[in-house]
Amino acid sequence: MKNITKVFLLGVIPAFFIFVACTQKVKENVGANDNKEKVEAFAKENDVSEESRPKPNIVILLADDLGWQDVGCYDIDAPAPYETPNMDALAKKGVKFWQGYSPAPTCAPSRCAIMSGKHPARAQKTHVRGGTPPTPYHQKSWRLIPPWFSGRLPAEDVEGTISKVLQKNGYRTGQVGKWHMNHKYFTDPLPVAVGFDYSSEEKGVVARMKPDRLSDFATTDSSDPYRLDDNGFAFHQTSEDALKFLQEEKANPFFLYYAERLVHTPIHTRTKRLLEKYLDKLGIDYPTKAKGWKPEGQKNPFYCAMVETLDYHYGKIVDYLENTDDPRWPGHKLMENTYIILTSDNGGMERMPGEIITDNYPLERGKLSAMEGGTRVPLIITGPNIDKGIESDVMINGLDFYPTILSWTKSPMPKGQHLDGIDISTLLQDDPTNSDLVKNKEGKTRQTMMWHFPNSKALESTIRVGDYKLIRNYDHVKNAKVVPLELYQLYDTKNGKATRVDIEEANNLVKTKPALAQKLNNKLTEMLTEMKASYPYNNPHFNKGLPNQEKVPVVTDNSKAGNKVNFTFKENGAKVIKANLLYTLNGGTKGEEWFRIPATLTSNSTATATLPKGTTHYLINLIDENNFLVSYPELIGILQYEKIKKQYSEDALAVK
């Protein structure tokens, strides 16, 4: 046994070192195809293969609300004031994608999509919170009612998460930071149920400052929970937990899902030095009021400090990987066998009531919109066999991470799991600038991406096909400010090079290219239909009137026998075409969560359904041919429920 070990140490390992060096040298001097051929020839000649390399590590660095123009290396017009040296340096170590997109324009659906590989529209998880009956934001002043959407990572996806897959493949898995894939922070599914061996949801420096953001700054006192380190940054428990996981699991193949709460609200910094630095850089006097920030653009010094803080702590992770020996691969550092994906869950949050946070310009809008500012995000990928310092115009989506990680780790696809993204490992290895290497299941180059956000004020779906993007606005009836369709040419792409045309989405081409607009709209419908997506409904209580509002049906009676419920209704000129039962298993509790199942329509104007076991409260939704939704019992608006702290179960039917 000792002799065999000696031969291995003296023969194979040195040869493999030469192989790695050769690989890098070839990449520097030849094209991707020649490189692959020469590396394979060298490996065959020296009896060295990729199988000699240990299973690669995976690290996802997911920022919260970090905009496309919030990272220094993404500046394209005027430079941003934010300093991000560590993220800029990471971009030079791998591939920076100029057209990287999040799966959704808000955090929870993007996180669920990354973890499950399933499109938010297909998963019925299109926005944050969720798990409530469909109601307008205000009962009478909103034209549309957002559809029901899940409050959590769908139960059918829990066993098929990328963390579960890697865990079963021998990986140690760690989740650090913001989870936000459940209805409430204490409800299922918790990270441990989704395949994580280690989990920590500490807020760290993001925890709200008391009594306000001009007080409670970190000090050097050893008893200060946010004590300043040697570099003058406040102690951040979140990044310390991430480092702890790496330190404890470095001898194993590991998967770290590090989801920062930075740079989400509350907008503040515990590092007074950083606040003063950016006040000086922006030429702004020290604020006298803690609340509110009104200067337009990227001029919020609190947010500037948050971005640099995020950069600093992500830099600590990279530094650790670069400077720590790999126990599984003697003579190498962890970084040499670790894939890193750095991105954001959605575009930058530009403002909130009383506070201007950042500016995504030249992109239009931001978080809470499926326009470019809400979905285009920084995306940097580094790792083994990925060339350094590459900038790519290829369209990539967070949905692509799951199938790509499967390929990197040689992990089997879970049985029955549906993936809406594409494996981009070949693209990254061979030529990150060649979009022809991104192939769908039919073997065709991907040209299309779709987003569905029938929520909040946006109420829109969008589709990107090549250089063009179509926006479908649902809230256009009796709304002079909104048109049904918008069509924009974002780029003019030739030979893989994208020349900027209208990434501002400022020049609507619907009137000049009506045929193209209709074609894209039809494609959007086709994709949404295949995913069984849910759409907004017309509000029968809108106080300024909508066409056919007088024809909505009314429920005239209801009954219950055992677990069977019946609702009799009267049509008033519009046919009822669909009915859904909404029910909760924990009505009246702090974590009250609602689900939806189809009800059956009968010929005698009755909707029937079977209550799932454990139902505590329920109601019926009727949808007529004019897309009006009628709820029985009647519900008020989302904002009204929140204002008076009332639960939906208080207005629903109780199971006695």
Integer Cα distance of 514 and 487 in angstroms:
9
| Helix, strand, coil percent content, the chain, rounded in steps of 5 | 30, 20, 50
Query: Helix, strand or coil for residue 75?
Result: coil
pLDDT score, position 17: 42
Structure confidence at residue 193 (pLDDT)? 95
List phi, psi (to 5°) of 219: -125, -175
Tell me the average pLDDT of the chain. Answer: 93
Please name which of 628, 638, 571 lies closest in space to residue 601, comparing C-alpha atoms: 571
Q: What is the mean pLDDT of the segment spanning 118-137?
A: 97
Instruction: Give 432's pLDDT tier (boundaries 50, 70, 90).
Output: very high
Give the length of the chain.
Answer: 656
- The per-residue DSSP string of 468-495 comes to EEEEEESTTTT-TT--SEEEEE-EEEET
- Euclidean distance between CA atoms 205 and 260, whole angstroms: 11
Distance CA 473, CA 462 (A): 9
Q: Please report the DSSP string for 214-246 in residue order.
A: TS----S-TT-TT-B-TTS-B--HHHHHHHHHH
List, for residues 552-575, the tens digit of each pLDDT value: 999 999 999 999 999 999 999 999
What is the pLDDT at residue 262?
98
Instruction: Give the DSSP per-residue string, 127-195.
Output: SSS--S----SSTTT-SEEPPP--SSS-GGGGGG-HHHHHHHTT-EEEEEE----SSSTTSSPPGGGGT
d(CA 344, CA 357): 16
Tell me the one-letter amino acid at 197. Answer: D
- Which residue would you say has higher pLDDT here, 26 or 187? 187
Q: Which residue has the higher pLDDT, 548 or 129?
A: 548
Give the single-character DSSP code of 388.
S
Q: In sequence order, which residues have a C-beta less than 8 Å from that of residue 10 and are 6 or more positions away?
A: none
With contact defined as beta carbons under 8 Å apart, do 366 and 350 qualify? yes
In this structure, what token pair is assigned to residue 248? Answer: 């404890």
Q: Is 270 helix (H, G, I), strand (E, B) or coil?
A: coil
Residue % of the chain over a pLDDT of 90 = 89
145 close to 137: Cβ distance less than 8 angstroms: no
The per-residue pLDDT for 446 is 97
In this model, does residue 46 exceed pLDDT 70? no
Tell me what pLDDT residue 31 has. 43
Note the helical H segments in 293-448: 301-323, 372-375, 401-409, 425-430
Q: Which helix (H) or strand (E) holds 126?
A: none
What pLDDT does 441 receive?
87
For residues 574 and 277, what is the distance between their CA atoms, to the nearest angstrom? 63
Residue-level pLDDT at 167: 98
| pLDDT tens digits along 368-384 | 999 999 999 999 999 99
Residue 9 pLDDT exceeds 50: no
C-alpha distances in angstroms, 558 versus 70, 219, 424, 632, 655? 55, 64, 53, 9, 13
Give the pLDDT score at 20.
43
Please state, for a pLDDT cut of 70, what percent of the chain lies above it: 92
d(CA 470, CA 327): 50
306-355: pLDDT as tens digits = 999 999 999 999 999 999 999 999 999 999 999 999 999 999 999 999 99
| 107-123 mean pLDDT | 98
Average pLDDT over residues 591-613: 97
* Cβ atoms 559, 565 nearer than 8 A: yes
Residue-wise pLDDT tens digits, 163-186: 999 999 999 999 999 999 998 888
Q: In this model, does residue 33 exceed pLDDT 90?
A: no
| Among 222, 303, 219, 206, residue whose Cα is nearest residue 260 | 206
Q: What is the pTM of this model?
A: 0.92
Largest CA distance in the chain: 90
In this predicted structure, what is the pLDDT of residue 53?
Answer: 87
The torsion of the CA quartet 425, 426, 429, 434, rounded to 10 degrees, works out to -120
The SS3 call for residue 637 is: coil
Encoded tokens for 171: 């990986």
Q: Three-state SS for 443?
A: coil
Residue whose C-alpha is closest to residue 553's, from 630, 643, 473: 630
**Per-residue pLDDT for 38 more than 60?**
no
Mean pLDDT in residue range 452-460: 97
The residue among 255 and 15 whose pLDDT is bigger is 255
